Structure 1
Amino acid sequence: ISSILKTTTSSALKGAIQLGITHTVGSLSHKPERDVLMQDFEVVESIFFPSEGSNLTPAHHYSDFRFKTYAPIAFRYFREMFGIRPDDYLYSLCNEELIELSNSGASGSLFYVSSDDEFIIKTVQHKEAEFLQKLLPGYFMNLNQNKRTLLPKFYGLYCVQAGGKNIRIAVMNNLLPCAVRMHLKYDMKGSTYKRRASAKEREKEVPTFKDLDFIQDLPDGLLLDPDNYNALSKTIQRDCLLLQSFKIMDYSMLVGIHNLEQAARERAGEEATGAADQKRPAPPQGQKSLYCTAIEAIQGNAHGTRALDTEDQMGGIPARTAKGERMLVYIGIIDILQSYRFAKKIEHSWKALVHDGDTVSVHRPGFYADRFQKFMCNTVFKKIPLKTSPSKKSRGTLGGVRRANAAGAGPSLFAQLSSSNSLGLPHSHSTETEGDSGEHWEKDESGEGVFWKGPKYMAGNGDWLGC
């Protein structure tokens, strides 16, 4: 990707992206609302943008380019599911210039953020874009069953063709809002092999640290109240099960930490020197999409009616350290477009010959998911012990019976995906988790959907899904 981008100026790429998205979203507004069909996931629309303009496209000062939109109807449905209106989507991405982020990914990907902090645009490789297309039916199924997820929220997949080159981009939710200062940032896989930030990375203003750095910095982990811990661990469990079913591995948990005490000291210092508010971004004005913040992703309290305190408005998960420091934690699973194919199997095999196989990050999907889940729920996040008080039944926000909301999805497609178990999830009639109370996914009255009753899972066709 990096070699292709060298031949395409950043301003030209940003301009082409904005022109293309403006056209494709505008043309969608003339198409009637309808259920998503299976063939919608495979549709690719293409429009040519000559620099002199055409009867369909405006004139522009960039080179001629072609803009492709993948699965436009399906992605429109995903955006609607998360409460993103077309005019908000256009305003965020196309009204002002996109901001290029300095921290590019290990793959050489470029990242842009919308001026309102709402969306991230990431350049992706051809294989990643291809895999995302194949993932869409299962992604659709998962969102219908449960919107509370730490998986990336994909809002669009596009391709800019210019000068014989293809630059593919995905539009996603922004996990780490620029308006909230991240005092610490970690990219963790649950592996220990070469999982320290490099010397070059540490020189950055906000380095992205890794697993061994976290263990060294926060040996006692991040402490969450029981409700949030239970909600988070169940969300991670479900997400890992889905990733494993698609043979996805090498994903990471991105963790951003905002230290409330440190932020208060910084504000006091700025006020004392008269520098307050000059460099700090304005506070978030409330994000447009539902279930997009860390706390909403695990609890689903999107746009509730109760009065929000400062911490809730900032969207982080409240946590504290063993020393009692109060934190806001922003998390999400990233880099999920990696499938366990031949190259990864070879990579793991030779690494395992030299190193302990269990510590290598590139691992078979089942082992990888289990190790990832244990590391996150036992090392990174820990439950604050309950104070001695009259016992109460836990009000776990994800506990109890909750029906899956189809959110307007076409019943025929949802039923088709459910009955065929197109997720390819592993079947097990006896798998139980530690402390299992017999809770599980069960069919709803129609026999088409499922609803949550605890740590076991059941597909729409009545088959148990083990972890």
Structure 2
Amino acid sequence: QKPTSELMAAIQLGIGQSVGGLSSKPERDMLMQDFGVVEVVFFPGEGSNLTPAHHYSDFRFKTYAPVAFRYFRHLFGIQPDDFMLSLCDEHLKELSNPGASGSIFYLTYDDEFIIKTVQHKEADFLQKLLPGYFLNISQNKRTLLPKFYGLYCYQQCGGKNIRFTVMNNLLPSTVKLHEKYDMKGSTYKRKASKHERAKKYPTYKDLDFMENHPEGLSMEKDTYDALIKTLQRDTRVLESFKIMDYSLLMGIYNLDLANKEKVREQVICPLNSCCAKHFIDIGMGDSYSGLQRGKSFKTRIGQYSTPMESIQGNRELTEELDEDEDVPPGGIPARNAKGERLLIYLGIIDILQSFRLKKRLEHTVKSMVIDGDTISVHRPSYYAQRFLQFHATRVFKKAQPGSTALKHSPSKKKSQVKTRSAAAPDGSDISGSNQAGRAERGARTISFSDEPPSGTSGAVGGRPDLLPEHSHVRYSSPRIRTPSPRLGAGNLNGNSRQQKRYVKNPNR
């Protein structure tokens, strides 16, 4: 077993050299062979002309498809220096493994990225998946699929290969998530074990959710439609890649319950400001008050990095929170059956599992003794259909007309300010116009109805560059452009024009 501290340090050295070295290479169009490139760099303890000196064992560091992953990072708005700063500037935090895969998880100090070790076959599958992944995210960045930012391999001389990938962090670790679920849409053995339930922060499963939330979670119509449309699109992509056995990881932050906990803690310990902060017990240590990036956790590095952005692609659509409800942005607003306000953080995980011979045999054996439709291992087409049906009908519900509004209520302080400003100097009430303006801004939600809005020629939500599902589309070949980094030797050619990444309307 490699000491985790040495492994973390070697990972940071390798990523820093890889990303920094790539910065000196000029920008160019991506070629098909770029997806299969593997760069290998030797890190001797005394250092070399390419690598710094270190006091660890000599090792080799492999970077898979560096040009392709540079494009992926650029597509999601991640600058090279921000990527290096997050991964290499501070110590990584090791997380406890929530599953049975045996993988090691690391979290960056700023809560942006997750590093996960993967098996050899999973790394190979991801590399083979890259051309299709490239095509998918080039057409559509609003996705709940994992966002892969890099694939690497650490090898100590004469030792074993340790492969790992860098991904987006789905669940914020700086707040206390009141519930966490891993759901596949299956019911066979999909209940958390006694050992899991005994944990401080357990991960529940499908049957647990149906027991805890028999009526599901309610959302406003536009939010529900956007979420289900995104899940439908993502499951179709996974089905086309013959991928199955994936899950929806969902964390629930209960705003009303958190406020009650905060008041209770202030009564018990009014002088201790630390009582107002919650941290998931994953070895996080102290808070992130010393971030060198000079930003609070209210902003994220990458675009489309939060669930609300992933389903709608618009930061302005996130709900307004109370001033003292200091939580990470981008959670999807919902309510439970009690009417409590919720923020949902979610994403699809474990997509590196194809329907190979082993899974086919597993499905055949299990279906002989139990109901084949209830087990988790299934052919990709049926798995995608069941996964989508479960979440669209059992987990998430569309709020009924006339029900309590799901928007988060503003704070009392904000309400007082708005009340005072509602009266004009001449005594007239101008609050109605303000409300109309807010309604107009809030109406910019993408429509996913089958019938296109009037005057858009089949465009979605009034945007001529986005098409509904049934429309005929043509795809433009995307070009790669990575902005000039502030770290690393050399500069990239920044003269080429940035390409729009949306699917173009042929009728426009």
TM range (shorter): 0.7 to 0.9
Q: Tell me whether 1:319 sits opposite 2:334 in the alignment.
A: yes
Q: 1:8-407 residue pairs with structure 2 within 5 A? A: 8-162=2-156, 163-274=158-269, 275-278=272-275, 279-280=277-278, 281=287, 284-302=297-315, 304=316, 309=321, 314-387=329-402, 396-399=445-448, 400-401=459-460, 402=463
- Partners of 1:271 and 1:99 in 2: how far apart? 29
- Partners of 2:330 and 2:257 in 1: how far apart? 18
Is 1:270–1:276's contact at 8 Å kept on the other side of the alignment? no
Measured against aligned partners, the alpha-carbon deviations of 1:282-318 in whole angstroms (never above 9, x if no partner) come to 672311010010111101014x599964589522000
Structure 1 residues 203 and 231, CA gap change in structure 2 (3 angstroms): same
Match of 2:491 in 1: none
Kindly, what percent of the aligned residue pairs are identical? Answer: 60
Higher relative contact order, structure no. (Cα contacts within 8 Å, ≥ 6 residues apart): 2
Structure 1 residues 403 and 109, CA gap change in structure 2 (3 angstroms): farther
Is 2:190–2:205's contact at 8 Å kept on the other side of the alignment? yes
Structure 1 residues 305 and 161, CA gap change in structure 2 (3 angstroms): same
* Residue 371 of structure 1: how far off its partner (Å): 0.2
Structure 1 residues 56 and 175, CA gap change in structure 2 (3 angstroms): same
* Residue 442 of structure 1: how far off its partner (Å): 2.1
Task: Tell me the amino acid that sits aligned with residue 42 of structure 1.
Answer: G
Structure 1 residues 450 and 83, CA gap change in structure 2 (3 angstroms): closer
Is 1:442–1:451's contact at 8 Å kept on the other side of the alignment? no
Measured against aligned partners, the alpha-carbon deviations of 1:56-79 in whole angstroms (never above 9, x if no partner) come to 111111111100000000100000
Measured against aligned partners, the alpha-carbon deviations of 1:97-136 in whole angstroms (never above 9, x if no partner) come to 0000013431100100000000000000011110101111
Is 1:104–1:110's contact at 8 Å kept on the other side of the alignment? no
Local SS of the residue matching 1:96:
coil
- Partners of 1:177 and 1:307 in 2: how far apart? 17
- Partners of 2:297 and 2:218 in 1: how far apart? 25
- Partners of 1:228 and 1:24 in 2: how far apart? 40
- Partners of 2:340 and 2:317 in 1: how far apart? 29
Superposed structure 1 runs of 4+ greater than 6 Å apart: 445-450
* Residue 276 of structure 1: how far off its partner (Å): 3.5
Q: Tell me whether 1:440 sits opposite 2:435 in the alignment.
A: no
Task: Tell me the amino acid that sits aligned with residue 226 of structure 1.
Answer: K
- Partners of 1:56 and 1:447 in 2: how far apart? 35
Is 1:444–1:450's contact at 8 Å kept on the other side of the alignment? no
Match of 1:421 in 2: none
* Residue 179 of structure 1: how far off its partner (Å): 1.3
Task: Tell me the amino acid that sits aligned with residue 228 of structure 2.
Answer: S
Q: CA RMSD in A?
A: 2.6
Structure 1: unaligned runs, 5 residues or longer: 1-6, 406-437, 454-459, 461-467
Structure 2: unaligned runs, 5 residues or longer: 279-286, 289-295, 404-439, 449-458, 479-500
- Partners of 2:236 and 2:24 in 1: how far apart? 38
Local SS of the residue matching 1:120:
strand
* Residue 377 of structure 1: how far off its partner (Å): 0.6
Measured against aligned partners, the alpha-carbon deviations of 1:395-425 in whole angstroms (never above 9, x if no partner) come to 65153435669xxxxxxxxxxxxxxxxxxxx
Is 1:225–1:383's contact at 8 Å kept on the other side of the alignment? yes
* Residue 443 of structure 1: how far off its partner (Å): 2.0
- Partners of 2:390 and 2:334 in 1: how far apart? 17
- Partners of 1:288 and 1:439 in 2: how far apart? 30
Local SS of the residue matching 1:112:
strand
* Residue 451 of structure 1: how far off its partner (Å): 3.8
Match of 1:414 in 2: none
- Partners of 1:86 and 1:212 in 2: how far apart? 42
Local SS of the residue matching 2:338:
coil
Is 2:317–2:445's contact at 8 Å kept on the other side of the alignment? no
- Partners of 2:476 and 2:143 in 1: how far apart? 25
In our comparison, the structure showing a higher alpha carbon Rg is 2
- Partners of 2:351 and 2:476 in 1: how far apart? 32
- Partners of 2:475 and 2:75 in 1: how far apart? 23
- Partners of 1:107 and 1:126 in 2: how far apart? 13
Is 1:442–1:452's contact at 8 Å kept on the other side of the alignment? no
* Residue 204 of structure 1: how far off its partner (Å): 1.0
Task: Tell me the amino acid that sits aligned with residue 297 of structure 2.
Answer: P
Match of 1:410 in 2: none
Q: What TM-score does the superposition give when structure 1 sets the normalisation length?
A: 0.83
How many positions carry a matched residue from both structures? 413
Structure 1 residues 325 and 40, CA gap change in structure 2 (3 angstroms): same
Local SS of the residue matching 1:443:
coil
- Partners of 1:174 and 1:208 in 2: how far apart? 16
- Partners of 1:397 and 1:213 in 2: how far apart? 33
